[in-house]
Structure 1
Amino acid sequence: MAHTFESLVIRHTHRVPSPEGSAGEGATAARQFDAALTSVGFKLSAELLERLSGLSEAAVVHTARRTLATVSEMVGDHVRHNSYFIDFPANVPDTEEFWMRCVAKALADDTSRENVLAQLTRGALNLLSLPTYGRYQHTYEEMLAAQDELMASAGDRVTVLHLGRDLDAELTDLYLALAGSTTPLGEDHLRDLRTLAERCADGPQPESIPVREHRAVVNEARLGVGAGLLLDTVTDVLRLACALSGGDVTLQEPTRFQALPRPVRRGLLAGLDAVVAANPAKLADVHAHREPFKRLGERLHPHEYPRWPHAADVFAVARGEKEARSFGSRVEKLLDEYDVTGAVKLLKSAPGKLFRALDLLLRVAAGQEERDAVVAAAVEVAPEVSGRVVLSVREHFHNRERETDAPRIFVNRRGRAWVTPDDRPPVPAADRDRLISALDTEIRRRLPAPRRLLLDPEVLDVALPLSGRATTAGFGVLPRGSLSRVDGELLRFFVYWKQTEVRTDYDLSALLLHRDYSTDAWLSYTSLKAVGGRHSGDVTEAPDGASEFIDLSLDRVRGTYIVPQVNIYAGEGFEEAEESFFGFMLRDRAQKGRPFEPRTVRMKSELRGIGRVALPLVFRRGDDGTWHAKWLHLYLKGISQANRVEENQVSVSKVVRALVEREQLTTRYLIDLMSRDTTAVDLWDGEPVPEEPVTYIGLERPEGLHPDSRIITLENLRDLIPA
C-alpha cells in the first residue's frame, strides 16, 4: 500500500516523497538511478540526488525500483510495444502489395488454401482469414534486434523529479488540494481522492469543499470514521448514497443502490431530516432526481424511523404524494408569461442559475429596459457566483461576440461530442460588452496581485481547467482547447490496448484535412503510406496487448490539419478493455530508434470514453509553417463495429472545426488580469534564478526557486481558478 501512495504522489506532483533509510554511501547507486531515469525521459533534481546520495545503497535501490515503475507507467513504457512491420517505419509496403503478399502466403499454406480460393472465387476476401494478417509475425525481442539505437537529441524530453516532504505530509497536502479544488475533478482524480479521503479522514480537512461530487467522496470517508457529515442539500445525501453503493456521484449515470447497514441508513436519514428541517424549501430539489430518490427510499425504509419526519417528506415528494414546487418550474412559468423582470427577480436568489440563464434572458427580453435589468442583476450577484461559473459564462459570451458559421459543439462529462447548427439569434452587442466588462472586473477583484510573476511562455495558451472532465488522466495532457507548440521533424502517434475477454481490434488512423476541413488523405490499415506518413500495420487482436503507430514527416504533409483517431473496429469498448491509451512522440529525422521510445513521448493519455471513435487532439499548421496541437479529448458515438476513418471523415471534420474555431479562456487571460501596477511580470527561461519569493506559472516545476515561492504547474493549474 505504501508503494501505491508513493506512486500517487509522484503522478500528481512529480515529487518523490522524502526517501527513508539508514545513512550511507549511496552516491554511486543514486547516479545509476538518475541514468536509468534518463532512458524514460526523467531525471533527479539536484536536491533529490543529494538526499539519495546520503542514504545506504539498499535504500536508494528500494526508492529507484518503485519510482522507475511509476514513471515508466506514466509515459506508457510499462508494456511491450511491438509493431506489425518489424523495421517500421522503414520498408512499409504499399497497401495492395502487402495484401497480395498475405494472399500469396495463404495460398501456399495447406490449411488455408481451400478457404482463400473459395473466397476469391466469390469475389470478396476477408483479410482476417489470412494466417499472416493482423497477428505479429515476430517476437518483441526480434523487433528490438532489427531496430537501431535511439540517438540522443537536445530535443528529447526531460522531466525533473523533485524532493518532496515525508509521505504523510505529501498525502495530506494532496488530499487537501483535491478535496478543496474549485473545479470538478476527472474520474481518475476522483478515484484518487476517494483513496486519499479514506486515509486522511481523521486528519486536517479543507476549509471548504465547493464541488459537491468531492463532498460526496469525503462524506463517504467521514461516515466510515464516525465524523460529522457535510450536508446542505438533499442532493448531497443522494450523492453520498451513490458513493456508498459504488455508483456515480455526479448523478449522470443511474446507480444500483445496495442494501445498506442499519447505522448507515440512520446516518443518511438523519442527514436528510436536518437539511429539510433547517430549510423546507429544499424539498423542491428532489424533483431534479425523483427516480433515484424513489429507489433510495426503498433501501432506507424511512417509515421505520418516525423520529425523522422531514426525511420521510423527501421520499413523499419523489413519489408525488407531497407537493414541493420546484425552482425551475417557477422560473419557466414566468418566462412562458414573458415576465423577464419577474424571472430575473426570482433568479437573483439563485445566482448560479441566473448566470447560466443570462444568454436566454438577454435574447427574450422585450426591450432595453429589461436587458438593463438582466445585466444589473448579473453585476449585483456576481460576487456570490463561483469563479468557475463566472469564467465559463465569460468564455461563452466571448464566443457569442465572434461572427462565425461554425456549428455549436456540445460535450458531455464523458467526452462524448456532438454538433448542431447555431441558429440562436445574436445577443445585442452593447449588452454583451457591458456584461463581459463586468465579468472581467469581478474576476480581477478575486485574483491575487503577486509582487513578481515568472512565466513559462509555453503556459500562456493553456486553456483554463474549468472542469477536470475537460481532460484525461495521463502524462503531459493539457485541458481541452489548449494550444501547444510542436517542435520536431517527425511526429509519431501510438495506441496500445489489451483486451479483457473477447477479440478486440483498435485501429489507429490519421485524417489529413485542408484549410476548409475537407479531406486531403488519410493513414490507416487501408492506406499504409500517404503524404509523408507510414502506418505500422494492422493488429487485429490483443490478448497480450498490441500497439499500432503512425509516423509523419511534418514537412511533407500537404494539409492544414492532422487528426489522429482511434477507431474501435471490433470487440471491447475503451472502458471495457483491460488497458488502452494513446500518445504521441516527437523526434529528429536522424534519431532512428525503436517504434516506441519513452524519452521522446510528449503526451500519453488514457482512453476511457464511451464512444467508439476517440479524438485525442488535432495538429494545425499555421501560416508561418509552424505546427501546434489543439487538445480535444473527444469521443464520437460511431457504430457498434467496423468503425473506419473513411466512413467517419465527415462527422470528424465537423467536430474538429467546431472546437478549433471556438476560443477558450487561457492562462494568458488570467495573467493579463493579474498583472497590475504592483506586479512585475517576466517571461522566464530559467536564468537567472531570483533570490526572493515569486509566483511561477509554467508547464513544469523549475529548480532553485525560493522555498516560499508559489508554484503553479500542470499538476495544480486548477489552483488558478478563483473561488
Structure 2
Amino acid sequence: MLEKLIIQRTLCVPASTGTAGDGAAVARQLDAVLLDVGFSASRALLEHIGSLAPMAAMDLAATVVSAVRELVGDHVQHNAYFLGFPDEVPDTVEFWMQRLRAAVLADGGTATDGQVRDAVLSGRVNLLDLPAYGTYQHSYAELLAAHDDLISTAGDRLSVLRLGDAVEVEATRLYLALAGSSTPLGEADLALLGELAVACCDGAQPVAIPVRENRAVLNGIRLVLGRPLVGVDTTTDVLRVACQVSGGDASLAAPTRFRAFRRPERRVLLAALNDVVGARPDKLGDVARYAERWKRLGERLHPHEYDQWPHAQEVFTVARGQRRVPNLAGRAEAAIRSGAIVSAASVLSAAPGLLLRSTDRLLRLASPSQHTAVVEAITGALGSASGRVLLSLREHVANRLTPVSARVYVNRSRKVWTGPDRRSPLPADLVAELSSLIDAEISTRLPESNRPLLVDPDVLDVALPLSGKAAEGGFAVLPRGSRASVSGDLLRFFMYWRQSSRRTDYDLSVLLLDDEFHPAGQVSWTNLRGGQVVHSGDITDAIDGATEFIDVPLKTRGHYVVPQVHIYAGESFDEVAESMFGYQTRTRDQRGAPFDARTVRARSQLRGRCRIALPMVFTKDDRGWQAMWLHLYLSGRPSFNRVEDNTYTTADRVRALTRRRYLTMSYLVDRWRTRVEVRTWDGRLPDEPVTFVGIEAPEGLPDGSETFDVHRLGELIPG
C-alpha cells in the first residue's frame, strides 16, 4: 500500500479523502496505541482523524499503526531463549553441562560426570543437537507473562507523525525528490522509487535525473508501460534499462539473466541505442567494458532484424570484438603508463568526474614540475563535476595527510576488506590548496535563502549522505560514519531473522575492544556471559522467526563495543524472508519485556550478500558513548562463522574506520554561514519562518518554514 510506504519513508501521514464524520474515539485510541510503540500523532493529525467517519478513521489508523510497527520491528514476536533474560541466564559451562546430561540420559535421571565424559569422548554427542537446545522452550505469551510492564522514563524515544497532503500529492512530492536525487539511492529507496514511478509516470517529472541508476529504474517502468524513455545519453544507459526490467542489477555490479523482450520493447531499446551512437559515435567506447552482457542482450534483442537502426547494430559488432573503439579511460591509462601524466590529465578533462576520481593517483605519479599543470586541470574540472564527486574528493584528501594503519575498501554491496596503505602522503600544502578550492566551489552551489538556517546540534555529526549505498533501510538509520550520542545505562542489541526454506542459524555476537583496539572479551553463543554483558541464548532454527539479544551495560570495561551477526548455517542475508538488527537503550531501573518498541533507538535491515554483518560500532570518549554506523559486511566462510575467528581482522577494520575523518553536516553548515544567518536550535520555537535542519523536525514551526529532517538531508547535497 502506497500510504504505508510514504509513512515509513517520511513519518508523514497522507490525508484521507474518506467520508467526514465523528472519529474522535478512533483518534484517542490511535494516540494511546502509538505511544505504546514510541510514536505520537501531531495535533493536526489527530484532528484530521477525528473529523473522519468512524470507518474511514479506522482504516487510516490501522494503516498508520501497521506502518510504524513494521518500521521499528514491532510487527514480529521477539522471544528469547531464556525466559528470564537478562536475569537467570546461566554460566556457559553450566548450561552446556545441563544439556549434556539431558542428552546422555534421555529417558530421565541424572548423568554422572563420568558418563558425560565418556559420551563426549566417544563422539556420540553433537553439541548443537542436544535436547531442547536452539529452540524456544516457552511461548511468546509466557515470556511476556514472566516480565513486568515497561517502566517508562523521560528518556524513552517518542517520534512524531505529521499530517500531510492527499496521498497523490505526497506520492508526487516523494517521487520527484527520489527521482531527482543528486546522490545514488539505497536498495529500499530504489524499490520505493519503482513503486512511485508506476503511480506517477504520467504526472509531473523531475527537471533532471542526475543518477543513472535512478534513471534506469524509471525507464524500466516506462518501457514496460509503453512510455518513451527519458535521459538516455550513453549506451550503458540502455544496458541498465534492460537489466532493470529483467529483474537484475541496474548498477551493473552483478551479471543479469535477461528475460525475453516483447517486440515493442526491442524496438524502443534498439531505437535508443541508435540515437545515442548516431549522435556521438565515441559512445561506442563504453561497450567493451560490458562486452559479455551486450552479447547476451543481443541474443534477446535480435538487432540483425532491424536494418533501419544501423548504429544500434554497431554496438553489438563492438561487443563481439569485430571492431575496436578506444575509450577515454583506456587512452588515459596508456598515457599514464608512458609517464605522460599531464597528457593523461588532459585526456580525462573530457570527463570531469573521472578526472577528479583520479586526482590522488595523478598527483602521486606526477613529478614536481608536473604538479602545477595537473592541479590546473583539476581546478578546471571542479565547476563541471557533480557536488557528490566534489564532496567525496574533499573527504578523501582530508584523510591523506598521514598514512593509516590499514586501507579500507568498500564496494557497492557494502562488502569491506582491508590492505596495507602503501601510498605516500600528499603534501600538506597541496591538500590545503585542493581543500580550499573545493570549499569555495561548494559554497557557491549552496542555495541562498531569505530565511535563517536553524540547525539541531544533533545533526552536525551525521555523515553527508553522498550515497544511499552506504546505508541500509530501516528506522533512524544514518549514513556510514555518522555518530549519535547514546544515553541511558544499558545497551540492548537485538537481531531477528526468519528463514525462507531451510534451517538457518544466525548468531548475534559482541566483540569488546580496549582503547588500543586490543580484544577485551566477547559474548556470543559460545560465551553467554562476559562480566555484566549477557547473551539471551542461541536459537538455531527460525522457521517462525527468531530473536537473539545481548545486554551491554555502559559501564563495561571496553572502549569499543562491536555488535556482529554471523551466519552459522543456512540462508544468506538476502535469501531469508526477513532479517533485521537494532539497538535499544534503557536505564538501570527499567524493566519490561526484552523487546519494547518505545526503547528502540534504531533498526536496520540486514540484506548484504556476505556471511558476516558489522552494522555498527559503539565508542567511548570524553563525551560519553556514541553510536557509529558502519553498514558493512565481511565475506566469512560458507558456514560455521564465529566471532572468535575474525577478532583481530575486525579490530583492524574498526580502528581504520573509527579514525577516518568523515565529512559531516557540520561541514555544509560552515559553508552556509557565509550565505545565510545560521542559528542553533535550543528547543524554543522561532518567531519567524526558518529553514530547519535536524534529525527530526519539531512541531509548531512558523508558517513558511521548510524542514530537512534525516529523510531529506540528501536534498541538501549540491548538484
TM-score by shorter chain over 0.5: yes
* Superposed counterparts of 1:262-273, under 5 Å: 262-273=263-274
Q: 1:321 to 1:116 in 2, by over 3 A?
A: farther
What residue in structure 2 maps to residue 644 of structure 1? Answer: 642
What residue in structure 2 maps to residue 62 of structure 1? Answer: 59
What residue in structure 2 maps to residue 443 of structure 1? Answer: 442
Q: Distance in 2 between matches of 1:212 and 1:577?
A: 29
What residue in structure 1 maps to residue 579 of structure 2? Answer: 580
What residue in structure 2 maps to residue 46 of structure 1? Answer: 43
What residue in structure 1 maps to residue 686 of structure 2? Answer: 690
Q: Distance in 2 between matches of 1:266 and 1:23?
A: 50
What residue in structure 2 maps to residue 466 of structure 1? Answer: 466
CA apart distance, 1:116: 7.4
CA apart distance, 1:693: 2.0
Q: Distance in 1 between matches of 2:234 and 2:286?
A: 8
User: What is the SS of the residue equivalent to 2:397?
Assistant: helix
CA apart distance, 1:680: 2.2
Q: Deviations over 1:437-456 (max 9, x none)?
A: 10111011101233301111
Q: Please give the TM-score of this superposition, normalised by the length of structure 1.
A: 0.97
What residue in structure 2 maps to residue 420 of structure 1? Answer: 419
CA apart distance, 1:647: 1.1
* Superposed counterparts of 1:12-23, under 5 Å: 12-23=9-20
Q: Distance in 2 between matches of 1:108 and 1:281?
A: 77
What residue in structure 2 maps to residue 307 of structure 1? Answer: 308
Contact (CA 8 Å) 1:614, 1:634: kept in 2 or not? yes
CA apart distance, 1:707: 3.7
What residue in structure 2 maps to residue 137 of structure 1? Answer: 137
What residue in structure 2 maps to residue 28 of structure 1? Answer: 25
What residue in structure 2 maps to residue 568 of structure 1? Answer: 567
Contact (CA 8 Å) 1:116, 1:125: kept in 2 or not? no
Q: Distance in 2 between matches of 1:442 and 1:633?
A: 30
CA apart distance, 1:124: 7.4
User: What is the SS of the residue equivalent to 1:104?
Assistant: helix
Comparing 106-115 with 15-24, greater Cα deviation is found at: 106-115
Q: 1:234 to 1:489 in 2, by over 3 A?
A: same
CA apart distance, 1:97: 0.9
Q: Distance in 2 between matches of 1:494 and 1:275?
A: 50
CA apart distance, 1:154: 0.2
CA apart distance, 1:111: 9.2
Q: Distance in 1 between matches of 2:20 and 2:330?
A: 69
CA apart distance, 1:405: 3.3
Q: Deviations over 1:92-135 (max 9, x none)?
A: 11111111122233334229999978742426742222112111
CA apart distance, 1:404: 4.4
User: What is the SS of the residue equivalent to 1:526?
Assistant: coil
CA apart distance, 1:312: 0.4
CA apart distance, 1:269: 0.5
What residue in structure 2 maps to residue 238 of structure 1? Answer: 239
CA apart distance, 1:718: 0.5
CA apart distance, 1:331: 0.6
Over the matched positions of the two proteins, sequence identity in percent amounts to 51
Contact (CA 8 Å) 2:14, 2:164: kept in 1 or not? yes
Q: Which amino acid aligns with 1:215?
A: R
Q: Deviations over 1:52-101 (max 9, x none)?
A: 12222222221111111110010000000110100110111111111112
Contact (CA 8 Å) 1:92, 1:536: kept in 2 or not? yes
Q: Does 1:507 align with 2:503?
A: no
Q: Does 1:353 align with 2:354?
A: yes
Contact (CA 8 Å) 2:474, 2:605: kept in 1 or not? yes
Q: Distance in 2 between matches of 1:480 and 1:78?
A: 26
What residue in structure 2 maps to residue 487 of structure 1? Answer: 487
CA apart distance, 1:553: 1.2
What residue in structure 1 maps to residue 595 of structure 2? Answer: 596
Contact (CA 8 Å) 1:613, 1:636: kept in 2 or not? yes
What residue in structure 2 maps to residue 160 of structure 1? Answer: 160
What residue in structure 2 maps to residue 539 of structure 1? Answer: 539
Contact (CA 8 Å) 2:3, 2:14: kept in 1 or not? yes
Q: 1:79 to 1:112 in 2, by over 3 A?
A: farther
Q: Distance in 1 between matches of 2:699 and 2:377?
A: 47
CA apart distance, 1:370: 1.3
Contact (CA 8 Å) 2:102, 2:108: kept in 1 or not? no
User: What is the SS of the residue equivalent to 2:399?
Assistant: helix
Q: Distance in 2 between matches of 1:259 and 1:627?
A: 54
Q: Distance in 2 between matches of 1:565 and 1:125?
A: 28
* Superposed counterparts of 1:326-475, under 5 Å: 326-367=327-368, 369-401=369-401, 403-450=402-449, 451-475=451-475
Q: Deviations over 1:337-388 (max 9, x none)?
A: 1111211111111111110111111111122x31111111111121110000
Q: Distance in 1 between matches of 2:644 and 2:121?
A: 27
Runs (5+) with no aligned partner, structure 2: none
What residue in structure 2 maps to residue 7 of structure 1? Answer: 4
Q: Distance in 1 between matches of 2:187 and 2:57?
A: 34
What residue in structure 1 maps to residue 285 of structure 2? Answer: 284
Q: Distance in 2 between matches of 1:224 and 1:609?
A: 28
Q: Which amino acid aligns with 2:718?
A: P
User: What is the SS of the residue equivalent to 2:413?
Assistant: coil
User: What is the SS of the residue equivalent to 2:589?
Assistant: helix
Q: Which amino acid aligns with 1:665?
A: L
CA apart distance, 1:529: 1.2
Q: 1:112 to 1:248 in 2, by over 3 A?
A: farther
Q: Which amino acid aligns with 1:639?
A: R
Q: 1:474 to 1:385 in 2, by over 3 A?
A: same
Q: Distance in 2 between matches of 1:27 and 1:699?
A: 31
Q: Does 1:103 align with 2:104?
A: no
Equivalent in 697, 706, 721 of residue 702 of structure 2: 706
Q: Does 1:197 align with 2:197?
A: yes
Contact (CA 8 Å) 1:449, 1:675: kept in 2 or not? no
Contact (CA 8 Å) 1:532, 1:554: kept in 2 or not? no
What residue in structure 1 maps to residue 663 of structure 2? Answer: 665
Contact (CA 8 Å) 2:525, 2:535: kept in 1 or not? yes
User: What is the SS of the residue equivalent to 1:165?
Assistant: strand
Q: Does 1:324 align with 2:325?
A: yes
Q: Please give the TM-score of this superposition, normalised by the length of structure 2.
A: 0.97
Q: Distance in 1 between matches of 2:104 and 2:16?
A: 61
Q: Distance in 2 between matches of 1:340 and 1:33?
A: 66
Q: Which amino acid aligns with 1:23?
A: A
CA apart distance, 1:710: 2.0
CA apart distance, 1:713: 1.0
- Name the count of aligned residue pairs: 714
CA apart distance, 1:415: 1.0
Q: Deviations over 1:243-268 (max 9, x none)?
A: 12111000000000111111110111
Q: Which amino acid aligns with 2:31?
A: D
User: What is the SS of the residue equivalent to 2:400?
Assistant: helix
